[in-house]
């Protein structure tokens, strides 16, 4: 994206070595994955097998897309609602993913006893099987077979070790009732929490009846610790902060980030802490909805309401799930209401109809994909990394027996190699913003923006003392410092012009405080230059001095250029004005100044009281007839 300016061209002319050969083609060939996708003598066509099925899926999907587009014209924030639902779906899915394997393993062990593959009288074999089962499900703390002869065979986890025990249960009360309940149920049942003296915390447990040769043998008890459930939930994408939670009933906290690391919250006389006892003031207010804000009706099938904590509104999104205890669980997450946006209140029933149609299409596609096998799933998972521009996770794939899929995999492998080169020259952050906003983000529109220009003082004479490689290294380090300050304030780097940088705020994403962001970035740049100069002086190097000009106003923003080379940039008088304000700094800069920031009165009006500046007079900028009020920004 860099464009060499006149000064840099004069300095580097004649110093660069010609004839350097690009290794891009060789690298692309080496990463193309052609070797991985070769070696299959036969290719099976899937066109005939999938033609009818995908025809139906496409028709349903097309109808869903038409509904979605119509709904999108009426509701620009439909995706916000879907995001809210996915948050809860992810937490519920993670919860089931953590607990259901414990139940499935119980059913597997019960089948071994029932089918005679495991002799209950062979205690050594039974304990060995319990050890193997426990090793395969790390979230389970203990597996115990409690037989009707009041003898217990137990495998329990002690850190990284598994300990096998045989326990006499004749003194334990209530076993007859437990046996009868298990016999009557006939299937695994999640029961009320148990307290573990050894672990000093409650256990979520499933009890499975055991039968052998038609006779009731006893109960298989499978236990999962509450702290492990909290840790698993906190590690999920939707629960990576304290916002995710699971409640038992309404007031007792079953899973929360705090429970994963604070065992002192568990007490024998009160196994689960209440929402007010875990140190989370927002969760403590979950059942105190703000009557002025009402319910957040944009989360579909989930429940929601808004609370206010320290004058900050939060929306709770939650869902009841049953089947894991004698009481329903409340699974949810809270987040600031500002992250959702007020637009979601305009959602209508048409969006849900579209969502239903999409789900039908997805279900059909999944069934067909499952029948075909794993290659499609591998390709889908791999391309998901490209969709988010996560090229570090993208790897070449092995080929497929299916001809069409094999060709797609070859194209994917070649695409990976190409994109690794492509990302070197394309600002990934800008592309992600444009992708998030859709096709309309790149259309030319008029937008209020703020433009910033930088320029190194006397760079020509400075660079003449350097070799071409040293000059390039210096500029790379210099621009790296500036880019970090710009991107920290959400700015977009438009281009590098010689030793100058142009950046803007207010596009592609809307930034009401675009001028304030630009001013903060300029102050950060000045501080970075001053700090780097201290380092340079310590190394005996001359200091770097910089001029910065900032202007705000309307500009046309979008795709500019010929079909073969298009830039997302802005066009308007604001660009020239910002650069000429930077030129004015030549008159204001003294020998003691390491960085001077000049802004127009338009910037100060837009930025508000956050920015403090001193007037430096009215200046008639080059190409203009009317004077412009120019101010020197003060670093605070």
Cα(282)–Cα(276) distance, rounded to whole angstroms? 9
Looking at the chain, the whole-number percentage of residues with pLDDT higher than 70 is 72
Q: What pLDDT, on the 0 to 100 scale, is given for residue 80?
A: 60
* Average pLDDT score, the chain: 78
Q: Which among 317, 298, 114 is positioned nearest to 212, based on CA atoms?
A: 114
Looking at the chain, the whole-number percentage of residues with pLDDT higher than 90 is 20
Cα(137)–Cα(102) distance, rounded to whole angstroms? 7
- Hey, where are the domains in the chain? 102-227, 429-633
Cα(489)–Cα(612) distance, rounded to whole angstroms? 18
Alpha carbons within 13 angstroms on the beta-carbon side of residue 546 total 29
Q: Residue 342: exposed, middle, or buried by beta-carbon count in 10 A (0-12, 13-18, 19+)?
A: exposed
Contact present, 523 and 599 (Cβ < 8 Å): no
Token readout for 347 is: 């959602």
Return all residues near 122 (Cβ < 8 A) that are at least 6 apart.
Answer: none
| Intrachain domains 102-227 and 429-633 with the same fold | no
Cα(75)–Cα(298) distance, rounded to whole angstroms? 12
Q: Which among 535, 514, 525, 513 is positioned nearest to 454, based on CA atoms?
A: 525
Return all residues near 581 (Cβ < 8 A) that are at least 6 apart.
Answer: 453, 549, 550, 551, 598, 599, 600, 621, 628, 630
Residue carrying structure tokens 């038609």: 214
Strand segments, DSSP code E, in 118-188 are 140-147, 151-158, 161-168
Cis peptide before 508 (omega within 30 of 0): yes
Contact present, 413 and 31 (Cβ < 8 Å): yes
Interval 432-444 mean pLDDT: 60
Beta bridge partners of residue 206, listed in sequence order: 190, 222
Interval 455-478 mean pLDDT: 90
Token readout for 589 is: 């800069």
Contact present, 238 and 135 (Cβ < 8 Å): no
Distances (CA, A) of 629 to 455, 513, 613: 21, 21, 12
Contact present, 311 and 288 (Cβ < 8 Å): no
With cut-offs at 50, 70 and 90, classify the pLDDT of residue 40. Answer: very low
Cα(97)–Cα(512) distance, rounded to whole angstroms? 42
Burial 45-75 (b: 16+ CB within 10 A, else e): ebeeebeeebeebeebbebbbebbeebbeeb
3-state class percentages of the chain: helix first, strand second, coil last, to nearest 5? 45, 25, 30
DSSP 271: S
Interval 536-557 mean pLDDT: 93
Report CA 296 to chain centroid distance, whole Å.
Answer: 23
pLDDT in tens, 73-87: 555 445 666 777 777
Token readout for 632 is: 């020197």
Q: Which among 624, 541, 524 is positioned nearest to 581, based on CA atoms?
A: 624
Token readout for 603 is: 């910037």
Distances (CA, A) of 70 to 222, 362, 534: 50, 20, 59
Cα(356)–Cα(205) distance, rounded to whole angstroms? 35
pLDDT in tens, 260-303: 778 788 888 888 899 898 888 998 998 888 777 665 555 566 78
With cut-offs at 50, 70 and 90, classify the pLDDT of residue 8. Answer: very low
Cα(139)–Cα(224) distance, rounded to whole angstroms? 6
Q: What pLDDT, on the 0 to 100 scale, is given for residue 297?
A: 53
Cα(287)–Cα(294) distance, rounded to whole angstroms? 13
Cα(404)–Cα(420) distance, rounded to whole angstroms? 25
Is domain 102-227 classified as CATH 3.30.450.20?
yes
Contact present, 80 and 317 (Cβ < 8 Å): no
Q: What pLDDT, on the 0 to 100 scale, is given for residue 77?
A: 45
User: Is pLDDT at 596 greater than 90 in this prediction?
Assistant: yes
Interval 560-567 mean pLDDT: 74
Contact present, 425 and 2 (Cβ < 8 Å): no
Q: What pLDDT, on the 0 to 100 scale, is given for residue 561?
A: 76
Q: Which among 410, 408, 401 is positioned nearest to 45, based on CA atoms?
A: 401
Is domain 429-633 classified as CATH 3.30.70.1230?
yes
DSSP 368-389: HHHHH-HHHHHHHHHHHHHHTT
Token readout for 84 is: 């809210």
Model pTM?
0.41
């Amino acid at each position: 994206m860099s464009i060499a300016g006149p000064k840099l061209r004069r300095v580097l002319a004649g110093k660069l070595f010609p004839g350097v050969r690009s290794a891009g083609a060789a690298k692309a060939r080496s990463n193309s994955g052609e070797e991985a996708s070769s070696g299959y003598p036969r290719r099976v066509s899937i066109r005939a097998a999938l033609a009818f099925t995908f025809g139906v899926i496409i028709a349903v999907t097309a109808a869903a897309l038409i509904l979605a587009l119509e709904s999108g014209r009426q509701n620009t924030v439909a995706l916000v609602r879907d995001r809210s639902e996915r948050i809860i779906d992810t937490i519920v899915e993670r919860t089931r993913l953590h607990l259901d394997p414990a139940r499935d393993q119980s059913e597997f062990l019960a089948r071994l006893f029932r089918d005679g593959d495991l002799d209950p009288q062979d205690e050594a074999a039974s304990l060995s099987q319990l050890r193997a089962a426990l090793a395969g499900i790390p979230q389970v703390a203990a597996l115990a077979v409690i037989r009707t002869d009041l003898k217990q065979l137990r495998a329990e986890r002690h850190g990284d070790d598994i300990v096998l025990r045989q326990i006499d249960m004749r003194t334990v009360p209530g076993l007859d009732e437990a046996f009868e309940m298990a016999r009557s149920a006939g299937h695994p049942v999640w029961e009320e929490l148990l307290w573990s003296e050894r672990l000093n915390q409650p256990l979520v447990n499933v009890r499975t009846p055991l039968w052998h040769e038609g006779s009731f043998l006893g109960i298989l008890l499978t236990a999962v610790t509450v702290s492990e459930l909290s840790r698993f939930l906190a590690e999920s994408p939707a629960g990576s902060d304290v916002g995710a939670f699971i409640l038992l009933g309404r007031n007792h906290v079953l899973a929360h980030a705090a429970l994963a690391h604070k065992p002192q919250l568990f007490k024998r006389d009160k196994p689960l802490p209440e929402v007010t006892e875990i140190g989370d003031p927002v969760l403590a207010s979950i059942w105190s909805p703000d009557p002025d804000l009402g319910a957040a009706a944009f989360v579909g099938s989930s429940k929601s309401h808004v609370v206010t904590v320290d004058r900050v509104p939060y929306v709770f999104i939650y869902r009841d799930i049953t089947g894991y205890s004698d009481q329903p669980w409340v699974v949810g997450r809270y987040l600031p209401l500002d992250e959702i946006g007020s637009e979601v209140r305009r959602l209508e029933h048409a969006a849900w109809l579209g969502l239903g149609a999409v789900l039908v299409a997805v279900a059909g596609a999944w069934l067909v994909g499952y029948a075909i096998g794993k290659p499609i799933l591998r390709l889908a998972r791999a391309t998901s990394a490209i969709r988010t521009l996560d090229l570090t996770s993208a790897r070449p794939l092995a080929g497929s027996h299916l001809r069409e899929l094999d060709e797609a995999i070859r194209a994917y492998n070649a695409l990976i190699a190409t994109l690794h080169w492509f990302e070197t020259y394309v600002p990934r952050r800008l592309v992600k913003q444009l992708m998030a906003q859709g096709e309309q983000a790149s259309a030319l529109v008029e937008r209020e923006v703020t433009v910033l220009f930088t320029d190194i003082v006397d760079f020509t004479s400075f660079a003449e003392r350097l070799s071409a490689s040293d000059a390039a290294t210096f500029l790379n380090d210099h621009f790296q410092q500036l880019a970090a300050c710009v991107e920290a304030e959400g700015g977009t780097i438009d281009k590098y012009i010689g030793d100058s940088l142009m950046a803007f705020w207010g596009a592609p994403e809307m930034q009401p405080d675009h001028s304030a962001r630009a001013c903060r970035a300029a102050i950060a740049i000045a501080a970075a230059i001053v700090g780097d100069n201290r380092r340079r002086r310590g190394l005996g190097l001359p200091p770097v001095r910089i001029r910065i000009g900032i202007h705000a106003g309307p500009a046309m923003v979008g795709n500019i250029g010929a079909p073969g080379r298009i830039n997302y940039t802005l066009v308007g008088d604001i660009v020239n004005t910002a650069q000429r304000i930077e030129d004015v700094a030549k008159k204001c800069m003294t020998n003691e100044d390491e960085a001077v920031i000049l802004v127009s009165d338009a910037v100060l009006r837009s930025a508000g009281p956050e920015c403090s500046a001193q007037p430096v007079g009215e200046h008639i900028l080059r190409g203009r007839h009317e004077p412009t009020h120019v101010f020197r920004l003060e670093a605070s």
